[in-house]
Structure 1
């Protein structure tokens, strides 16, 4: 699958560095080859007053290409949202030397790709690399720009994990307590009967009805896709639709799904008396962000804490950089710093993760508080989301990478642990490919 063509951003022109003519020629040649571009603006998606009938994006067709690319950049145009407030003094991102990384080569299986080809083939919208807090590489692709917001998808879970961990660090939430002790409405449900920590680590044996899968069922409940008969009409009712298995597993399981973070977010609201968005604004986003973010909400105003957040690429990078800096803090720990340090404390559950169908390409990883721990000797951590969203943080090398993408992904998610094979992905969009890219990038930045 081919998607897009790299564009050199104007945001790094302060570096006063001109790319070599050879590199520009390579990029130009790649641009000419990308005749199957899915740039929504060039293709006229939602352009005109009014847009042509066959170019309109609706809830019915938003997951189809090229509509998906427009939809992930304009989530608030398709469903209700609520705001997340920026910082009064945002974290400064200094301009470093604009690294000429476009021709960087690495292997994906038996194929060799340049970084520019990789970004194209994985439908990347925006890609940024920070080293020591400095922007050393930044690309915006196919009409996506620095001022636009983009969906985070399941990277939102990692925000919820930090938020929950901050309350645990303050003693306001017990990780060993049943979640139903905070949310009585979830008594008898898999989320309520599991502990807070089991929910945070995706170790909940939930069984979803066939008509209410953990992805589309939630999207319908939040008003993102049309709701079919029998589907819940709110996030709270979505959580109450899941049931316990007829026979519990004899050993712990790892089942990645959307119910657990939504249940944790419900508990957070009950404990604090505030909305998820208010708390994210106060405890997280206001610590570093340059622009307001937003998140999708259901008909009751309930935020989709497992996947509804949108921000600019640079603010996503600021979030990752703030996480990196907070990990090393030893003085005056704020709720944000406390949450980061607890959420990212080492977890030894690699074997459990490797058994999961969802995580067959996550061999060697651990998972804690909605963060992946890479166990690479550098203390690296990752957040990931549907359609190719990635945050990579390497504390030892002071490295941050953020990738915002629109890779088509219509594969249904399993309705219970072990009931479906791993979600099929093209080779270039796999975790292995991302890791290969990172492994090539690190020595190139030295």
Structure 2
């Protein structure tokens, strides 16, 4: 896909799959329209460097056999990996052509970025988590979100029927791909189906519930987009502006980030954010530092106090829970995580004072073995850096 013209072009329906995603996740601005998340004119926040060579650190591989950290990173299709210990860079590696200036697709880590800005607005009194979401988006009275609170949306505990079947292009998440502009209508799609023109069009189409609001958690990406539309409505600013002004400029980002946008200019809150490895780490450090007056400390504490809603919460994290668009690793450490399909991770370890970022381009949407091995390696690194 290098050269002019390129010898290979990613197919429209499979650009996020192997082998194409090894290139596309670092080139989203060349794939689809985007909106800048401006870093502002200030200096970037300096990252001290106290580096350790962890290449040969013994860890368990995806198959459970002994290996080294560098081999595990290679085995799990890593594009960038960075560890901050006490705010300083302890370990930083790039692979697959990625550089410190490369913007990499976050997938669902974007949800935590969006949720953090929501926390800022809640702390300012602009939004109320206990208010019905229809307070901010009255049009949703005619949808399945009728009667749901903003907190239900934040925690993905509404009862809205939404099928997040990644392998099925005709599922609800497949319709998100079309609505957000990531993919065309599937060639084998139902010819009688009405495909959404943009994300707001899609949201208004959900009319069914499968359970009472608040009964239990079910992972559904569309909830983050409902949240983002509420944020845009109450502030009068688009999401890319909100993230820039409320977060990105304030953390001292090195590079402007970007969101992919749909035909109506909506920035995809549930997965369209792109940023550099170091700036993802700066975001994680902000959370580790209790928000530093940018994100309210009480919002972060409330997020860490999430509760598990039912058994089999996550195959790779059996004790995990979900709160305010973040994953909570377990009820003891209450570590926070931003996670995205194809191997994206920001892990915030409060006891170890460590932030780990892993950007990847896995061949598959999810991998329990890759996830388990990565999380175990993160804890091994924390022990090694004590």
Moved more, 263-272 or 82-91: 82-91
Do residues 215 (structure 1) and 173 (structure 2) align? yes
Report if the CA contact (8 A) 2:58-2:66 is conserved: no
- Partners of 1:103 and 1:400 in 2: how far apart? 18
Post-superposition offset of 1:408: 2.1
Structure 2 CA distance for aligned equivalents of residues 82 and 192 of structure 1: 31
Within the candidate set 62, 69, 73, 2:26 is matched to: 73
Superposition deviation, residue 112 in structure 1: 2.3
Partner of 2:299 in structure 1?
Answer: 342
Relative to structure 1, the CA distance from residue 252 to residue 310 in structure 2 (aligned partners, 3 Å threshold; closer, same or farther) is same
2:374 aligned with 1:434:
yes
Of 139, 150, 160, the match for 2:114: 160
User: CA offset at residue 93 of structure 1?
Assistant: 0.6
CA contact (8 A) 1:207 1:244 kept: yes
Q: Which residue of 1 aligns with 2:45?
A: 91
Q: Is the 8 A contact 1:191 1:259 kept in 2?
A: no
The whole-number CA distance in structure 2 between the counterparts of 1:344 and 1:185 is 32
What does residue range 172-187 of structure 1 map to in structure 2 within 5 Å?
172-187=126-141
What displacement does 1:407 show?
0.5
What residue number does 2:3 align with? 48
1-side partners of 2:213 and 2:19: how far apart? 45
Match of 1:399 among 337, 343, 354: 354
Specify the SS of the correspondent of 1:191: coil
Match of 2:316 among 357, 361, 364: 361
Residues 1:307 and 2:271 aligned together? yes
Any conservation in 2 of the 1:196–1:264 contact (CA below 8 Å)?
A: yes
Note closer, same or farther for the CA distance 1:244–1:68 as it changes in structure 2 (3 Å cut). Answer: same
Can you list the C-alpha shifts for 1:379-434, whole angstroms capped at 9, x where unaligned? 42111001100001112221010000001225xxxxxxxxxxxx6x251x12x222
- 5+ residue gaps, structure 2: none
Residues 322 and 291 of structure 1: CA distance in aligned 2, closer, same or farther (over 3 Å): same
Q: Is the 8 A contact 1:217 1:231 kept in 2?
A: yes
May I ask how many residue pairs the two structures share in their alignment? 373
Distance 1:67 1:211, change over 3 A: closer
Checking the alignment, whether the CA contact within 8 Å between 1:353 and 1:366 is kept in structure 2 is: no
Q: Deviations over 1:80-122 (max 9, x none)?
A: 1000011412211111133333342236564223211211121
Q: Deviations over 1:286-305 (max 9, x none)?
A: 01211100000000000101
**1:386 matched to 2:349:** no
2:76 touches 2:360 (CA, 8 Å); kept in 1? yes
| Deviation at residue 60 of structure 1 after TM alignment | 3.0
Residue 248 of structure 1 deviates from its aligned partner by 2.8
Comparing 115-124 with 296-305, which one deviates more in the overlay? 115-124
Unmatched tracts of structure 1, length 5 or more = 1-45, 411-422
Report the Cα offset of residue 361 of structure 1: 2.6
CA distance in 2, matches of 1:401, 1:337: 20
Residue 257 of structure 2: which of 283, 290, 293 is its match? 293
Query: Cα RMSD between the aligned structures?
Result: 2.1
Residues 343, 190 of structure 1: alpha-carbon distance in 2 compared, 3 angstrom cutoff: farther
Find the aligned partners of 1:211 and 1:64 in 2 and give their Cα distance: 13
- Separation in 1, partners of 2:62, 2:330: 21
Counterpart secondary structure, 1:95: coil
Find the structure with the greater CA-based Rg: 1
Aligned-partner Cα distance in 2 for 1:249–1:177? 17
> Do 2:61 and 2:72's aligned partners in 1 also have CA atoms closer than 8 Å?
no
> How far did residue 227 of structure 1 move?
2.3
Matches within 5 A, 1:3-152: 46-52=1-7, 55-87=8-40, 88-106=42-60, 108=62, 110-152=64-106
SS in 1 for 2:215: coil
CA contact under 8 A between 2:132 and 2:148: conserved in structure 1?
Answer: yes
Match of 1:320 in 2: 284
Higher RCO (C-alpha under 8 Å, 6+ residues apart): 2
In the alignment, which of 223, 248, 256 is matched to residue 211 of structure 2? 248
CA distance in 2, matches of 1:97, 1:250: 48
Query: Structure 2 CA distance, aligned partners of 1:64 and 1:154?
Result: 16
- Residues of 2 paired with 1:116 and 1:269: CA distance? 42
Tell me the distance in 1 between the aligned counterparts of 2:347 and 2:169: 35
- What TM-score, normalized by structure 2, do the two folds share? 0.90
Q: Distance in 1 between matches of 2:213 and 2:96?
A: 50
